[in-house]
Every structure is written in structure tokens, then in C-alpha cells.
Amino acid sequence: MMELKDSPWKDPIHDRPTYLVFEDKYPVTKGHLLFVPKLDDKEHVLECYRAAYALGQAWVENGYCEAFNIGQNVGESAGQTVMYPHIHLIPRRRGDMDDPRGGVRGVIPEKQKY
């Protein structure tokens, strides 16, 4: 199992007691962030989700974006490439794609639209 010190993420933009925040190296949209727990355990991962959700809500309230996605790839079959937990916060804006319906269901493109 990978440890945080062995991860490819460097230079966090925020350092909190239980997690770090990084700009995504390959952002889906402008502002795409990664919340990375300092320890690989349920409590630290859940804190990342809470923080990502709170920031997403603040973004919407302040007009930075109209909506947001929060997600995590867990395991190679789910698309995980860095084998240390990290949560994506992706700001969404009108027009960033033609039809956003189905949201995270787009991980399997033919299942996104229903």
C-alpha cells in the first residue's frame, strides 16, 4: 500500500490537520482540486469529503460555479491510477459540456443518459 509520503502530489495549496488540498495535475475543469487524507483510514477520508462538500457549497454560494461533482476512484477497475485515497472536487459551469445529465454516471458513457 502506498503512503502519502510516496505519492506524486507535491506543493499543497492548503494544509489542514487531517488532509491536504492540491490542484489536479490534469483538471477536468478550471479549479479541479484533490483532497488527500494525511492518513489512509475511514475517518480521514470522510473528513476530505466533508471539506470538499463545504468548499463546493461555498463556491456555489459565491458564484464561482453553478454546481460541482465530488468523486473518488477506488481500485484500478474504477480508474484509480494513484493508489492512495484522494477525493476530486470538480466545479461545474453552464456550458462546460453539452448535456451534463447523468453526472457521475458518465464513468460508463453509454450509461450516463437515462
Q: pLDDT tens digit string along 73-82?
A: 999 999 999 9
pLDDT tens digits, residue range 82-112? 999 999 999 999 999 888 888 887 777 777 7
HSE of 71, CA atoms in CB hemisphere, 13 A:
16
Mean pLDDT of 48-67: 98
10 Å Cβ neighbour count for 22?
Answer: 18
How many angstroms from the chain centroid is the CA of residue 104? 12
Pairing of β 19-23 and β 33-37 = antiparallel
Mean pLDDT of 30-42: 97
The CA-CA-CA angle for residues 9, 12, 17, to 5°, reads 110
Q: Is the dihedral of CA 46, 89, 71, 14 positive or negative?
A: negative
Has this prediction a pTM greater than 0.85?
yes
